[in-house]
Chain A
């Protein structure tokens, strides 16, 4: 129904309009980059404590380490709490938003997001398995990977779903997007059932851990976590620009895209692997953070149009910015305690999404 509205306006005959739009989109991307820098600076400077970024930066630049207790505390806050959190927030936000944009292009469906093909359910299953079985059946895994056992299990869960999906949906070298979508829903339901079984087995403290994990949080950000997921996310994000033209062509239909010289099968494959890896990694380190993947690309399409060459980088920038803003809110609303970030993104994202839908409906009615 809405293919036309979402991507159809990018069409060769509208070249001149597209040119104007391109200029506007480039301007918007520059603006978004600036906005991200400002947000990052604010995020680094704000928090529950009064740690001063400037004094810590000053200490770093002088190279001298002043070891009195207060400055040590400030250094830990800036260097070990806010900075890794900032980096992780940007990576997670960018990954979720770009994954959403790529999936919407790939499935030619404005409602697609990484959750819909079951990757998030698989990651949840991995995480919940570690929470419930980490001390018993999976104890060797826990002792091998320590604090990273949970994110690693989540990541593996997401990837596993993706591989199963890919095998199910590919026959004779052709991946059927429709089969992939339906199989994704089925596998997501299966993962949900297994998660439910673990929920039943869990004791009450594990249940509480699970609940908080599913609400999502960047509170566990550490440099080692950043180092663990950054390569996966950066690789996936770096692959996005190479998909842009292909995704644009795909909007005209698979056959047309193929005749335009797009290696459709390879495009589908790369898009699925990249989004699954990026989403799996994001869910692994931050738990369930909803609505970024679906809201950001939609908002940007209204702003700069559906051309993926601009949409994908803009999604990365806006996704990162929005997640940093949500995180800043989650850290300060109930300080010194902290609200799980998933609550903030869903509470702000859901009404916003409704608003977008209402606007879109208005446009369609015209």
Chain B
């Protein structure tokens, strides 16, 4: 008897709790159309490619801070770091006295963004797509936020031409090479990139084929999947110093060692922000990767 009555009472807690949350819902902040930031506005850049674009537009004198993914150009490292783009602290960002924030899509958390809006800091969210038009749109969005549409138009045209030229290099190569991008090797287990990733995008633009099909994002591969993938080239991020994946680590994995890339020791390391940033340097990154894939054939 006691059990029945206490359980029923306990069950009443759940809807009450749900209601408490529902009551607390605050109306979503309305998104207003934003005008460009004034010339003397103090700006925070969130996202590596955003920072690169701001530098490429020659507007770096307006920057007062950056996030931890903004590692290029080197001059940006001198700016205060407000933390990882996905884990911003609202007070930390406000402490640098920003009058505008230009952020890559996915910056957050949402609460931090809401608080920043409440503090009347205009925030420009720049969408990201892993193809040429994505980069062009990014440049236009940053240019619009800075009130430098003309400069952005120029930069977008040159970046776009650069990428087109780089993509054209591999237009006529016959058999496309298969590329396996490895994010990390933990305990001999390979974490590789599937579709929908920056690595997938840059591999396609360089005329290669992502050796991994059938999943999106970064996943651990089984030995059999590695062998089935038959990569001709293994692509890695160069983290500098001893942090990267070593040649020994790679070849210690029997499955990797037996792939075409493994037997030929076709292993390429490229700087992460350069290879995966999808910013002004992407054309050059594509050219480098294409050269690594097809050698003199594409050097044109």
Q: Which residues of B contact A209 (CB under 8 A)?
A: 86
Q: Which residues of A contact B93 (CB under 8 A)?
A: 336
For A206, give the chain B residue with the smallest CB separation.
Answer: B217
Q: Which residues of A contact B111 (CB under 8 A)?
A: 147, 219-222, 225
Decide yes or no: A269 and B21 within 8 Å by CB, A73-B119, A334-B83 being known contacts. no
Closest chain-B Cβ to A142's Cβ sits at a distance in Å of 11
A260 at the interface (CB under 8 A from B): no
Bound form: Cα–Cα A155–B96 in Å = 35
| Contact, CB under 8 Å: A82 / B91 | yes
Decide yes or no: A336 and B90 within 8 Å by CB, A204-B217, A205-B106 being known contacts. no
Name B160-213 residues within 8 Å CB distance of A.
196-197
Decide yes or no: A173 and B2 within 8 Å by CB, A232-B20, A336-B96, A337-B89 being known contacts. yes
| Contact, CB under 8 Å: A337 / B24 | no
Bound form: Cα–Cα A342–B218 in Å = 26
| Contact, CB under 8 Å: B95 / A48 | yes
Q: Which residues of A contact B87 (CB under 8 A)?
A: 212, 217, 219, 338, 340
For A151, give the chain B residue with the smallest CB separation.
Answer: B21
For A227, give the chain B residue with the smallest CB separation.
Answer: B24
A72 at the interface (CB under 8 A from B): yes
Name B1-32 residues within 8 Å CB distance of A.
1-3, 6-7, 10-11, 13-14, 17-18, 20-26, 28
Closest chain-B Cβ to A23's Cβ sits at a distance in Å of 38
Closest chain-A Cβ to B253's Cβ sits at a distance in Å of 20
| Most chain A CB neighbours (cut-off 10 Å) among B95, B106, B196 | B95
Q: Which residues of A contact B95 (CB under 8 A)?
A: 47-50, 335-336
| Contact, CB under 8 Å: B2 / A228 | no
Interface of A is mostly: helix
Name A171-214 residues within 8 Å CB distance of B.
172-173, 200, 202-205, 207-209, 212
Q: Which residues of A contact B112 (CB under 8 A)?
A: 219-220
Bound form: Cα–Cα A335–B96 in Å = 10
Q: Which residues of B contact A273 (CB under 8 A)?
A: 10, 13
| Contact, CB under 8 Å: B20 / A228 | yes
B82 at the interface (CB under 8 A from A): yes
Q: Which residues of A contact B97 (CB under 8 A)?
A: 73
Q: Which residues of B contact A51 (CB under 8 A)?
A: 91, 94
Q: Range of interface residues on chain A?
A: 35 or more
| Contact, CB under 8 Å: A331 / B91 | yes
> Mask for A154-173, Cβ within 8 A of B = 1, else 0?
01100100010011001011
Bound form: Cα–Cα A80–B90 in Å = 10
Decide yes or no: A76 and B1 within 8 Å by CB, A163-B10, A220-B112 being known contacts. no
A145 at the interface (CB under 8 A from B): yes
Name A266-293 residues within 8 Å CB distance of B.
266, 269, 273, 277
Set B28, B81, B91: member contacting A49, Cβ < 8 A: B91
> Mask for A324-335, Cβ within 8 A of B = 1, else 0?
000000010011
Set B7, B24, B91, B219: member contacting A77, Cβ < 8 A: B91
A63 at the interface (CB under 8 A from B): no
| Contact, CB under 8 Å: B86 / A208 | yes
Decide yes or no: A337 and B21 within 8 Å by CB, A205-B106, A273-B13 being known contacts. no
B58 at the interface (CB under 8 A from A): no
Decide yes or no: A155 and B81 within 8 Å by CB, A48-B92, A203-B216 being known contacts. no
B115 at the interface (CB under 8 A from A): yes
| Contact, CB under 8 Å: B83 / A336 | yes
Closest chain-B Cβ to A157's Cβ sits at a distance in Å of 12
Decide yes or no: A155 and B17 within 8 Å by CB, A146-B25, A203-B196, A224-B24 being known contacts. yes
B239 at the interface (CB under 8 A from A): no
Bound form: Cα–Cα A26–B22 in Å = 40
Q: Which residues of A contact B14 (CB under 8 A)?
A: 156, 159
Bound form: Cα–Cα A335–B82 in Å = 7
Q: Which residues of A contact B6 (CB under 8 A)?
A: 266, 269
Bound form: Cα–Cα A277–B14 in Å = 10
A265 at the interface (CB under 8 A from B): yes
Q: Which residues of B contact A336 (CB under 8 A)?
A: 65, 80-83, 89, 91-93, 95-96
| Contact, CB under 8 Å: A147 / B110 | yes
Set A47, A159, A204: member contacting B218, Cβ < 8 A: A204
Bound form: Cα–Cα A47–B75 in Å = 27
B68 at the interface (CB under 8 A from A): yes
B109 at the interface (CB under 8 A from A): yes
Decide yes or no: A48 and B89 within 8 Å by CB, A203-B216, A205-B106, A337-B83 being known contacts. yes
Decide yes or no: A76 and B115 within 8 Å by CB, A146-B25, A338-B83 being known contacts. yes
Q: Which residues of B contact A205 (CB under 8 A)?
A: 86, 106
For A284, give the chain B residue with the smallest CB separation.
Answer: B21
A69 at the interface (CB under 8 A from B): yes
B222 at the interface (CB under 8 A from A): no
Closest chain-B Cβ to A136's Cβ sits at a distance in Å of 12
> Mask for B61-80, Cβ within 8 A of A = 1, else 0?
00001001000000000001
| Contact, CB under 8 Å: A335 / B110 | no
B114 at the interface (CB under 8 A from A): yes
8 residue pairs bridging A and B, Cβ less than 8 Å apart: A48-B95, A76-B94, A148-B22, A156-B18, A166-B7, A269-B6, A336-B89, A337-B92
Give 6 nearest A-B pairs by CB, closest first. Answer: A337-B83, A203-B217, A338-B89, A336-B92, A49-B95, A76-B119
- Known contacts A152-B21, A203-B217, A338-B92, then 6 further A-B pairs from the complex at CB < 8 Å, ordered by chain A residue: A156-B18, A204-B218, A231-B20, A336-B65, A336-B81, A337-B84
Q: Which residues of B approach A to under 8 Å, CB–CB?
A: 1-3, 6-7, 10-11, 13-14, 17-18, 20-26, 28, 65, 68, 80-84, 86-97, 106, 109-112, 114-115, 118-120, 196-197, 216-219
